[in-house]
Structures are given as structure tokens and as C-alpha cells.
Amino acid sequence: MNTINLAEKLSQFSSHWDPHVVADYNANEVMVVKFQGEFPFHKHDNTDDFFLVLEGEMQMDIDGEAPRKVRAGEMFIVPKGVVHRPRAAAECKVLLIEPKGEPNSGDADRIPAPKPRI
Amino acid sequence: MNTINLAEKLSQFSSHWDPHVVADYNANEVMVVKFQGEFPFHKHDNTDDFFLVLEGEMQMDIDGEAPRKVRAGEMFIVPKGVVHRPRAAAECKVLLIEPKGEPNSGDADRIPAPKPRI
């Protein structure tokens, strides 16, 4: 039960699309992640997907809709079942929340990131 | 399904200890709140309590332990059942997550805030 400094946690890794768990909130994992480039389109059938941009800017593409910009200090929640794709032209640092055991890639044909704990 | 700017949401009210709901994440409400002064000691028997400081600095008092500082860019999760008291000498802006229907005052003898949606 300690204060968690998110910038310090983010300084511990440099990989992209590689969420690292920093805390538990009930049955969820709270993670920090660095985005750069483009993730595949995917959906999570049984959970909403929580994004809060800590530094930089990302784009959230929603299947069939205009993309949304999400900048530092802004959040975006993708409701369950909605096909989406995060992407970022330059590196972007993000806080994520997902239920424990949920693959970050949802239903996409991609090996999920292992989500190490830091 | 839109980008949520937390500073813009916080600009809509000036009251303290008065969380406003900005989004839903599964069965939880995501809120912004302004702390100033001292909240009563309380606990939540059935849920962890999620705090992320967006601006300023708060202190988290844990019953019987040394207080923890939580500054902008830092988070603190109080596990369920742990008696705690947030306080802030100067105004501090915080992101909170709690299950829908959970009183912000937990088991304290205090009327819970109504949590309006903005």
C-alpha cells in the first residue's frame, strides 16, 4: 500500500504495446503502457477498455467512425464489443485498466502482451 | 463514446469533496473531485478505493501508519477494509474510481455526496 509514481514506472521499460501492471483495483489490473505506431483493430466482448493519456497524444480509431484524438489529461473508454484501434504517430504514455486475465489484444489475431508487474 | 477532457470537467464545479461522474467503466463510475481540507476516516468493506492525483498534492492517512504524500502523476489504491482519510492543505484535483452505488464516505457517519454526472 504505497504511492505509485507513474512516470517512475514508465521509466523502467522502453518497449511499445507492452503494458506493465502497477496496481490492482478490485478484479482489475492498472497498467502503464507506451504506444507508438498502430495496434490491430480488436474488441473486448466482456469488458470496457479504459485509456487515460499521461503524456503525448494518441488517436482512437473506432470501426466505421471518424478517429478521435486523445491528448495528455484526456481519457477514452471503449465500451465492450466496440471494434477499436489505438495508434500514435509519436510515443504516447497511457494508463490502462483491464480486468485481470483480459488479453490486451482482445479478439485480434495477435499474441497478447504478458503484462509483467513492476 | 467521446474523448473526455478532465480539466474541462473539473472547471464545471468548484465544490470540495463532491465527486462528479465523467464516465462508466464496467460496473464502476469514473469521477473527478476537488479535495481541500480533511475528509473523515472511513473504509469501504467491499471495494478498493482508487485515487489518481491530476493536479496538486494530497495526503493519504492510513489508520495507525505514517501518512503518504500523493502528488500529481501519482496514484494510491486503498485496499478494501482499510481505514483511511484523504486530506489536502491546498486544493487538489483527483480522479476517483468506485463501483456504482458505493458511497464516497464509506462507513463514515457523513451524508454521502450525490455524484452528479457531468
Closest chain A residue by Cα to residue B59: A3
d(CA A33, CA A39): 13
Q: Domain residue spans in chain A?
A: 6-99
d(CA B116, CA A18): 36
Report the 10 Å Cβ neighbour count for B46.
10
Please state, rounded to an integer, the average pLDDT across all residues of chain A.
95
Mean pLDDT of B13-17: 97
Q: Which of A41-45, A109-113, B82-86 has the lowest mean pLDDT?
A: A109-113
Please state, rounded to an integer, the average pLDDT across all residues of chain B.
95
- Nearest Cα residue to A96 out of A114, A113, A75: A75
Report the residue of B1, B20, B48, B58 to disrupt the A interface, i.e. the one with the largest count of A CBs within 10 Å. Answer: B1
Burial class (CB in 10 A: 0-12, 13-18, 19+), B27: exposed
C-alpha B86, offset from chain centre? 8
CATH number of A6-99: 2.60.120.10
Q: Which of B6, B30, B80 sits opposite A73 (nearest CB)?
A: B6
* Residues 6 or more apart in contact with residue B87 via CB below 8 angstroms: B35, B37, B38, B39, B58, B59, B61
Q: What's the complex ipTM?
A: 0.95
> What's the pLDDT score for residue B111?
83
> What's the pLDDT score for residue B108?
87
Q: Which of B3, B25, B76 sits opposite A68 (nearest CB)?
A: B3
